[in-house]
C-alpha cells in the first residue's frame, strides 16, 4: 500500500552518482550542493585518486555526506538495488533520447516515486556510451547553444534544485515488490546481447549505438517486476533454443 510523501522524503529516493570523477575538489563541491538542498545519498564510481582532505576543502559543512559516500568499482555495481537511472549529458545526437531538465522533472513528478540514480560522468568527457547504456533517460540542462556544458557541481546543483522546486505533497511511493531494480535489467541486458549475437543480429560491423538502443528499449517501456520476469524467461528460452540448433549436426 502506498503512502503520502512529505517533501523532505525526496532525499530517501534520490541518489547522486558521480562516475570516474577526476578531482576531489569537485566531489566536495557536489557534496556541498547536496547539503544545501537536503540530499545526502552520494555514490562515487571509481574516482581518480580520491583525497578526502581535498574534498573537505570545498565540501565545507558537508563532511557528513563525504564520510557516508559509497564507493563502487563500476557503474553497474553502484546501481544495484536502484529502480530507475537517469543520466545527465549536454551532448545531442540521433541515437540519444534527451529530455530537457524541466520536462524530466515533470514526468518524474507524475509517477509514483521510486529509488532513482542521477548519474553524472567524468569532468572531461561526460557520460560515455558504456555509461549511457545503463540509463533509461538522458537529461539535458537548459543552456546557451554557444556554451552548453556546466561544470560538475553546477550540473548537480541545478538538477537537485529543479527537483526541490516541485510540490511533493500527496506523492506516493511505488511498492518495491512491483518494480524491477537495475540488477534485473543488467541480467536482461546480458541475455539480450547473447541471444542477438547468437542469431546474427549483432555481429562485426553492427553500428556501435545499435546494441545499446535495443537494450534500452526494455528500460523505456518500464516493465513491472512480473513483466521483466517474463522477458528474462523468454530470452533464456531463446538462448537455449539457439544453442540447441547450433549443436545439431549439419545435413548434407
Out of 49-53, 88-92, 189-193, least confident range: 88-92
Q: What's the pLDDT score for residue 55?
A: 96
| Residue pointed to by grid coordinates 533454443 | 241
Q: What's the pLDDT score for residue 93?
A: 53
Asked if pLDDT for residue 250 goes beyond 70, the answer is no
Task: Spell out the alpha helix ranges (H) of the chain.
Answer: 24-37, 52-58, 63-68, 75-78, 101-110, 129-132, 152-164, 182-198, 209-220, 225-247
Mean pLDDT of 32-36: 95
Asked if pLDDT for residue 148 goes beyond 80, the answer is no
Residue in 49, 95, 43 with CA at minimum distance from that of residue 68: 43
Domains of the chain: 4-172 (3.40.1280.10), 180-247 (1.10.8)
Q: What's the pLDDT score for residue 97?
A: 62
Asked if pLDDT for residue 4 goes beyond 50, the answer is no
Q: How confident is the model at residue 86 (pLDDT cuts 50, 70, 90)?
A: very high
Q: What's the pLDDT score for residue 2?
A: 43
Asked if pLDDT for residue 96 goes beyond 60, the answer is no
Look up residue 24 and give its three cell numbers.
Answer: 576531489
Look up residue 110 and give its three cell numbers.
Answer: 507524475
More confident residue, 206 or 194: 194
Amino acid at each position: 500500500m502506498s503512502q503520502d510523501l512529505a517533501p523532505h522524503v525526496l532525499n530517501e529516493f534520490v541518489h547522486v552518482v558521480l562516475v570516474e570523477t577526476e578531482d576531489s575538489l569537485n566531489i566536495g563541491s557536489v557534496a556541498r550542493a547536496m547539503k544545501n538542498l537536503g540530499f545526502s545519498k552520494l555514490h562515487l564510481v571509481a574516482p581518480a585518486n580520491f583525497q578526502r582532505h581535498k574534498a573537505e576543502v570545498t565540501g565545507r559543512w558537508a563532511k557528513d555526506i563525504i564520510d557516508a559516500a559509497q564507493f563502487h568499482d563500476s557503474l553497474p555495481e553502484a546501481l544495484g538495488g536502484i529502480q530507475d537511472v537517469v543520466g545527465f549529458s549536454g551532448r545531442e545526437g540521433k541515437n540519444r533520447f534527451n529530455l530537457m531538465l524541466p520536462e524530466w522533472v515533470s514526468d518524474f513528478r507524475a509517477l509514483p516515486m521510486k529509488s532513482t540514480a542521477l548519474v553524472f560522468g567524468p569532468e572531461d568527457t561526460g557520460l560515455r556510451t558504456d555509461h549511457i547504456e545503463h540509463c533509461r533517460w538522458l537529461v539535458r540542462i537548459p543552456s546557451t547553444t554557444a556554451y552548453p556544458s556546466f561544470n560538475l557541481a553546477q550540473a548537480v546543483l541545478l538538477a537537485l534544485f529543479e527537483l526541490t522546486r516541485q510540490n511533493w505533497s500527496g506523492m506516493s511511493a511505488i511498492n518495491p515488490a512491483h518494480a524491477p531494480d537495475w540488477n534485473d535489467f543488467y541480467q536482461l541486458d546480458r541475455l539480450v546481447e547473447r541471444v542477438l549475437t547468437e542469431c546474427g543480429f549483432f555481429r562485426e560491423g553492427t553500428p556501435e549505438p545499435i546494441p545499446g538502443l535495443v537494450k534500452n528499449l526494455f528500460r523505456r517501456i518500464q516493465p513491472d517486476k512480473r513483466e521483466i520476469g517474463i522477458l528474462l524467461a523468454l530470452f533464456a528460452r531463446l538462448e537455449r533454443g539457439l544453442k540447441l540448433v547450433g549443436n545439431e549436426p549439419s545435413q548434407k
